[in-house]
């Protein structure tokens, strides 16, 4: 337990020296990061963000605005009172960025921000908004993206449950933008899938404009969901043992 519905802890850590906060992609929940905990070093802690509308928050309305996530998360993270590292993939990267901005505005900046599989906030969306598609086209789009279990895609009852959540997530993801971002006064790392058909490596590299205290781009083999096969490398890169 973390004392807040926004954060989920997979294992207790006594007096952690720093906390890695992981934000899920569209359609996912905190459980996405369950296996990442095994790559966390001794004395470190992983907390996964649990968004409204899924898992044990299933009855809550899904967020369609980044501020509705970033502001309550900022309050919860400040109460932890320890060094923070933020990581997010795809939609999660946009939410991690918005939360980092909120923490900086509150005078409690994270140690670093790591983004993955997401265009920089000033880069425009290069495809039609997914949430505007009709139901059949929306479901077809979800299938082509990958990332959704085949057993869910094959079950109309399950899809009827998850499609409203996915539509809300895509409203949030596709609509998020920061056309003229000021540089963040924290280091920024970016991970890109070399074979990602959703987000080009150069659009991930454009995060350098937001980085005001150092930037590194890490292209990795794989499609849009490359984070699954490279989770150990990603964790070791953003949360080095020497601290």
Please tell me the least confidently modeled range out of 28-42, 117-131, 140-154, 184-198. 140-154
User: Using CA atoms, how far apart are residues 206 and 190, in angstroms rounded to an integer?
Assistant: 9
Residues 6 or more apart in contact with residue 110 via CB below 8 angstroms: 21, 83, 84, 85, 86, 100, 103, 186
So what's the pLDDT on residue 137? 84
| Residues forming the active site | 90
Residues 6 or more apart in contact with residue 210 via CB below 8 angstroms: 97, 120, 121, 122, 181, 183, 184, 188
User: pLDDT tens digit string along 108-152?
Assistant: 999 999 999 999 999 998 887 887 788 888 888 878 777 677 777
Q: Considering only residues 27 and 96, tell me which one the structure prediction assigns the higher pLDDT.
A: 96
Q: Where residue 1 falls among pLDDT bands split at 50, 70, 90? A: low
Work out the end-to-end distance of the chain between its first and last CA atoms, rounded to an integer number of angstroms: 26
Q: Where residue 221 falls among pLDDT bands split at 50, 70, 90? A: very high
- Whether 242 shows a pLDDT value over 50: the answer reads no
User: pLDDT tens digit string along 15-26?
Assistant: 899 999 999 999
Query: What beta strand segments (E) does 10-100 contain?
Result: 18-23, 44-49, 84-89
So what's the pLDDT on residue 27? 87
Residue-range domains of the chain with CATH: 7-125+178-238 (3.40.50.1820)
pTM recorded for the entire structure: 0.93
Q: Which of 141, 240, 119 minimizes the C-alpha distance to 191?
A: 119
Q: What would you report as the CA-atom Rg of the chain, rounded to the nearest whole angstrom? A: 17
């Amino acid at each position: 337990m973390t004392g807040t519905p926004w954060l989920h802890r997979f294992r207790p850590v006594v007096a952690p020296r720093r906390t890695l906060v992981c934000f899920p992609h569209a359609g996912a929940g905190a459980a996405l990061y369950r296996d990442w905990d095994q790559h966390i070093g001794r004395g470190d802690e992983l907390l996964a963000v649990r968004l409204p509308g899924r898992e044990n928050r299933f009855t809550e309305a899904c967020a369609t605005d980044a501020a509705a996530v970033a502001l309550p998360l900022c309050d919860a993270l400040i109460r932890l009172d320890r060094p923070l590292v933020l990581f997010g993939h795809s939609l999660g990267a946009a939410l991690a960025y918005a939360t980092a901005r909120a923490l900086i505005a509150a005078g409690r900046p994270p140690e670093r921000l790591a983004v993955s599989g997401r265009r920089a906030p000033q880069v425009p969306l290069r495809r039609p908004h997914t949430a505007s598609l009709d139901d059949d086209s929306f479901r077809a789009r979800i299938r082509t993206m990958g990332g959704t279990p085949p057993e869910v895609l094959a079950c109309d009852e399950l899809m009827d449950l998850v499609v409203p959540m996915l539509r809300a997530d895509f409203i949030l993801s596709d609509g998020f933008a920061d056309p003229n971002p000021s540089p963040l006064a924290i280091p920024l790392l970016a991970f890109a899938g070399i074979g990602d058909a959703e987000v080009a490596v150069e659009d991930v590299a454009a995060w350098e404009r937001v980085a005001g205290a150092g930037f590194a781009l890490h292209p990795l083999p794989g499609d849009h969901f490359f984070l699954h096969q490279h989770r150990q490398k990603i964790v070791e890169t953003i949360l080095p043992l020497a601290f």
